[in-house]
């Protein structure tokens, strides 16, 4: 009888320990997942800021933004379920894009140019979806007059 009571108490204690472990493990995995998503968004924001600051000219063509300078060219492709950054290596940010709006001198620039030529932009607004939340980002490029001046031939 005493042995049965001891085994019953041991089984209850082991069950409680396993339940506590499962709850803590689930909370930790949820934290890690949320932390990875936040880190990815912060990295995307950092890369966009840096690439826009370094770019001499920024162009939009369809769903891509091309940032060119005398050193290199960076291409961002905004797709429905990911953002792809192409430089020497390709970075993929797995985040949904809800809206993607560009303009030049406060005039909206559409994604499909009519003359087949990429259009200059100085303002980029994107809304990303993550974990059911909309996160707006806004970037503005201030051009030098040297970059915008085009001599007449």
pLDDT given at position 128:
92
How many Å apart are CA 35 and CA 123, to the nearest integer? 29
Residues in contact with 19: Cβ distance below 8 Å, sequence separation at least 6, in sequence order: none
**Mind listing the pLDDT tens digit for each residue in 119-143?**
888 899 999 998 889 999 999 998 8
DSSP single-letter state for residue 147: H
The DSSP element (H or E) to which 10 belongs, if any, is helix 2-54
> For the segment 11-58, what is each residue's pLDDT rounded down to a tens digit?
999 999 999 999 999 999 999 999 999 999 999 999 999 999 999 899
């Amino acid at each position: 009888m005493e042995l049965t009571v001891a085994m019953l108490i041991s089984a209850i204690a082991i069950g409680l320990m396993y339940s506590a472990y499962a709850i803590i493990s689930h909370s930790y995995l949820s934290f890690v997942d949320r932390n990875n998503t936040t880190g990815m968004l912060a990295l995307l924001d950092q890369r966009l800021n840096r690439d826009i600051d370094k770019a001499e000219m920024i162009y939009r063509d369809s769903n891509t933004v091309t940032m060119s300078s005398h050193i290199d060219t960076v291409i961002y492709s905004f797709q429905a379920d990911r953002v792809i950054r192409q430089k020497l290596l390709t970075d993929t940010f797995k985040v949904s894009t809800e809206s993607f709006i560009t303009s030049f001198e406060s005039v909206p620039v559409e994604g499909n140019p009519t003359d087949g030529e990429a259009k200059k932009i100085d303002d980029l607004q994107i809304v990303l979806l993550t974990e059911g939340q909309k996160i707006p980002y806004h970037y503005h490029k201030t051009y030098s007059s040297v970059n915008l001046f085009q001599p007449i031939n």
